[in-house]
Amino acid sequence: MIERRELYIDGAWSAPAGGDVITVDEAATEEIIGTVPAGEGADAERAILAARRAFDGWSTSPIADRAAAVQALADGLRAREGELAEIMAMEVGTPLAISVRVQVGLAASVFETMAEAALELPDQEQVGNSLVIRAAAGVVGAITPWNYPLYQLAAKVGPALAAGCTVVVKPSSVAPLATFILADIVHGLGLPAGVFNLVSGRGALVGELLSSHREVDMVSLTGSTGAGVRVAQAAAPTIKRVALELGGKSAFLVAPGADLDAALPAAVRGCFVNNGQTCSATTRLIVPRSQLAEVEARIAALVEAFVIGNPLDGATDLGPVASSGQFRTVKDYIDIGMTEGTLITGGPGPVEGQDRGYFVKPTVFSRLDPKARVVQEEIFGPVLAIIAYDTIEEGIAIANDSEFGLSGAVWAADVPEAVRIATRLRTGQVAINGGRFNARAPFGGFKTSGVGRELGHHGLLEYFELQSLQFPSTEDLGTFTETV
């Protein structure tokens, strides 16, 4: 039982304004494994004002010092890798090996690459007789999701601190425990008071206040498209910067002539990673109609080979979804899919041998209309939809027939053909013939999948404002830049 009774505000752990708590369930057992404070408006207000007071000093501190602090966060996560991976396996349901590699390892890599990007990015640029300076955006409200609690935190806190911003973090109520450990690491670094603040609480209260508060200059959210709409609406009256990484219903497009032996295992991994609880998961598999029956048989065999069980068991491939609410949502979609297409494997029944926990059978539907709900709507669980096409042009059209545009994949007979297809997809990133995720490349979406980009120097740039200093002449500017 992990009980966190305090919030991290203004450089210290302090008691919340009220006594309400948020309970955290273990996804595999449904048992309560922890509690955190349910912060109130007064707590968020105190954190925001602390961040405001700290901003001037932190934003003018040497970039080398800020980069060193971000690197130290990466080192701190790696030093507590086992503890953190186990907590997120319990909170989220992520199988332990993936939790080590992705939940902790990727988060550490993002902090590390952001420290490097900050040192590499010039802080000023000459444009004619103007000197363009990058200035920290200000106080940042970071609202993070439950599916990747640390990775998404790193993708916001890393660039914010590196740019010279101060932050107030609101973690998801479903999986907040790892964020408190990061705050422990921050406290151990001795950062100036107010640079990093943590206020756990319910989104309708703390999240709304961060989004609407006049002393918050930027809000960054990862969440559902509906949550993004609410944050954007709350932020609009104060005209603050908004970065939104939202939902997805990404396509894995198999082109004619592609190597199915390589493509289909990659398609399965892309859909079912983290038990399907990934915004960029490739949950639509689009294949040539002439190969549909073969694809169905192969996909069924791959999915039925999954070992489903407690995520703390090293043999487990697929764990439970994170919460009772998500369990009900996924099960409802499976019921819908039973009326819309052909069930290839899985289905609505219970998982054999699992009488507790939020376990869902990994499910595959096929022979679906591209407009079916299980094809169009984000399910956020272990459900794959297979759609057939007759021509590659039709396949591309099906891939683009979505309100979302976060991610995708193309597998073709060769890389040039895959690139030709990928560049016609309206989506933020595309894996080419199995290309791997790159923590230095920009991540974000088209359409309702979001606004802005995270990761690498593109993600870092989101946390700056630009100031142009206009000099009387280029000669005056040249004289000035030689002396700084």
Q: Is 81 in the active site?
A: no
Report the distance separating Cα 358 and Cα 91, nearest Å.
11
Amino acid, res. 83: E
User: What letters, b where the CB count within 10 A reaches 16 and e where it falls short, cover 62-95?
Assistant: eeeebbebbbbbbebbbebbeebbbbbbbbbbbb
Residue with tokens 């550490």: 108
In a domain, 484, yes or no: no
Both 241 and 257 in one domain: the answer is no
Both 394 and 381 in one domain: the answer is yes
Contacts of 308 (CB under 8 A, 6+ apart): 316, 317, 318, 319, 351, 354, 359, 361, 362
**Catalytic choice (91, 112, 165, 279):** 279
Both 302 and 384 in one domain: the answer is yes
What six digits make up the tokens of 211? 């989004």
CA separation (Å) from 314 to 67, 95, 102, 322, 408?
35, 7, 15, 18, 29
Q: Which of 106, 113, 112 lies closest to 84, judged by CA?
A: 106
In a domain, 483, yes or no: no
Q: Is 245 in the active site?
A: yes
Both 134 and 186 in one domain: the answer is yes
Report the distance separating Cα 424 and Cα 400, nearest Å.
9
* Average pLDDT of the segment spanning 103-111: 98
In a domain, 441, yes or no: no
The domain that holds 121 is classified in CATH as 3.40.605.10
Report the distance separating Cα 362 and Cα 318, nearest Å.
8
What six digits make up the tokens of 389? 């096409």
In a domain, 473, yes or no: no
Both 82 and 110 in one domain: the answer is yes
Domain ranges, residue 39: 2-246+449-468
Instruction: Catalogue the long-range contacts made by 443-446 (C-beta closer than 8 Å, 24 or more residues apart).
Output: 443/155, 443/245, 443/280, 444/245, 444/406, 445/245, 445/246, 445/248, 445/404, 445/405, 445/406, 445/407, 446/405, 446/406
In a domain, 437, yes or no: no
CA separation (Å) from 474 to 128, 252, 353, 484?
6, 51, 75, 16
Helix (H, G, I), strand (E, B) or coil at 465: strand
The domain that holds 381 is classified in CATH as 3.40.309.10
Among 74-83, 261-270, 353-362, 468-477, which stretch is predicted with the lowest mean pLDDT? 468-477
Both 377 and 405 in one domain: the answer is yes
Both 200 and 267 in one domain: the answer is no
Question: In the prediction, which pLDDT does 482 show?
Answer: 55
Cβ proximity of 91 and 178 under 8 Å: yes
Average pLDDT, the chain: 96
| pLDDT over 60 at 483, yes or no | no
In a domain, 34, yes or no: yes
Both 391 and 262 in one domain: the answer is yes
Report the distance separating Cα 61 and Cα 344, nearest Å.
58
In a domain, 202, yes or no: yes
**Catalytic choice (40, 112, 245, 296):** 245
Half-sphere exposure of 84 (CA within 13 A, CB side): 30
* Confidence bin at 480 (pLDDT 50/70/90): confident
What six digits make up the tokens of 464? 């700056």
* Average pLDDT of the segment spanning 90-97: 97
Both 423 and 453 in one domain: the answer is no
Q: What CA dihedral angle connects 101, 102, 107 and 109, to 10 degrees?
A: 60
Phi, psi (5° rounding) for residue 471?
A: -95, 155
Report the distance separating Cα 192 and Cα 86, nearest Å.
30
What six digits make up the tokens of 85? 């991976």
Cβ proximity of 248 and 403 under 8 Å: no
Q: Which of 62, 51, 47, 99 lies closest to 77, judged by CA?
A: 99
Give per-residue pLDDT as tens, 300-332.
Answer: 999 999 999 999 999 999 999 999 999 999 999
In a domain, 481, yes or no: no
Report the distance separating Cα 106 and Cα 153, nearest Å.
11
Q: What is the DSSP string of 292-329?
A: HHHHHHHHHHHHHT--BS-TTSTT-SB---S-HHHHHH
Report the distance separating Cα 406 and Cα 222, nearest Å.
12
Give per-residue pLDDT as tens, 251-277.
Answer: 999 999 999 999 999 999 999 999 999
* Confidence bin at 477 (pLDDT 50/70/90): confident
What six digits make up the tokens of 252? 């894995």
Both 191 and 292 in one domain: the answer is no
Both 352 and 260 in one domain: the answer is yes
Both 156 and 214 in one domain: the answer is yes
CA 361 to chain centre: 24
Number of domains in the chain: 2
What six digits make up the tokens of 104? 């902790």
User: How big is the CA angle at 147 (ends 103 and 302), to the nearest 5 degrees?
Assistant: 80
Structure pTM? 0.96
Question: In the prediction, which pLDDT does 481 show?
Answer: 61
Computed on alpha carbons and rounded to an integer, the radius of gyration of the chain in Å comes to 23
| pLDDT over 60 at 94, yes or no | yes
Q: Which of 164, 140, 150 lies closest to 215, judged by CA?
A: 140
